[in-house]
Amino acid sequence: MHPLISTNDLTALLRQDPHPTLLDVRWSLLGPPGREDYERGHLPGAVFVDLDAELASPPGVQGRHPLPDAGEFEQVLRRAGVDRARPVVVYDAGDGSAAARAWWLLRWAGHDAVAVLDGGFAAWTEEGRPTTTEVPHPREGDFRAAPGAMPVVDADGAARVAREGVLLDARAAERYRGDVEPMDPRAGHIPGAVNAPFAAHTADSGRWRSSAELAEHFAALGVGADRPVGAYCGSGVTACSVVLALEHAGVTSAQRPASLYAGSWSNWSADPERPAVTGSEPG
């Protein structure tokens, strides 16, 4: 399944029986909680999943959004009605950067038919498509998590990717350079990492750029089929959209995905022994 789905294609799938499971993962780093948006209106049949509480373990030494426990994540998905044999479509407010976290986790846990709604809730409502405030109560799904289908690296692994391939930093340029650091212990970036802000994946409309545009974008950053590639961000959320963008572009594939440094800068910067580079160059 392609990692992105258009509003037209989702509408067609929702007319089928069985239709895809819908997950609403609207979220903002600085709040307010996405559930408030969900309660004001969501796609019919969509179940809200809380990124902070259900798509991550509690903050700690592994970072601000560590990967969830596989068993607990399985229960979250089953309560949302996720079946192994039925596609899942996830959406957020617009640019897909939060929805990509759910996409990545589902793929990591072994579900191979997952897509992010291109343009998210904003695109859906701009086109006048139906929404509701009714909260669904799906039957329990039969999905069983088998983590490991997507590659994960720790801090040492991220440093190795930066040395031997291309490590993409999904944060905004000012955080990459170390001009500001609003969340984590230190400013800067991992030595050798290349800045690849997640905002570059989408156009002004909020929809994802074409495969060809993104392939050109990543090629300019030095990404190639013959080199390992990985991604990180502040806490492992928006880096998932880099993994998705690489696959959408055809640079990587479902069989050969990019690696995710799940702890990301929140894990790296908490260790005073690990160096931090400031400025616009990888270092």
Which is catalytic among the residues 233, 249, 258, 260?
233
Cα-Cα-Cα-Cα torsion 93, 81, 241, 156, nearest 10 degrees, comes to 140
Which pair of tokens denotes residue 50?
């809380």
Query: In this prediction, what percent of the chain has a pLDDT beyond 70?
Result: 100
Give the model's pLDDT for residue 32: 82
Closest CA to 110 of 72, 81, 62, 70: 70
Predicted local distance difference test score (pLDDT) of residue 33: 83
pLDDT digits (tens, 9 = 90+) for 55-111: 999 999 999 999 999 999 999 999 999 999 999 999 999 999 999 999 999 999 999
Q: What is the pLDDT of residue 226?
A: 85
pLDDT single digits (tens) 154-206: 999 999 999 999 999 999 999 999 999 999 999 999 999 999 999 999 998 88
Spatial CB neighbours of 235, under 8 Å, sequence gap ≥ 6: 63, 64, 65, 183, 263, 264, 265, 266
Tell me what the pLDDT averaged over the chain comes to.
Answer: 97
CB 98 within 8 A of CB 92: yes
Q: According to the model, what pLDDT value does residue 44 have?
A: 98
Q: Mind listing the domains of the chain with CATH numbers? A: 4-126 (3.40.250.10), 152-268 (3.40.250.10)
**CB-neighbour burial class of residue 85 (10 A; exposed 0-12, middle 13-18, buried 19+):** exposed
To the query of whether residue 240 is one of the catalytic residues in this protein, the response is no
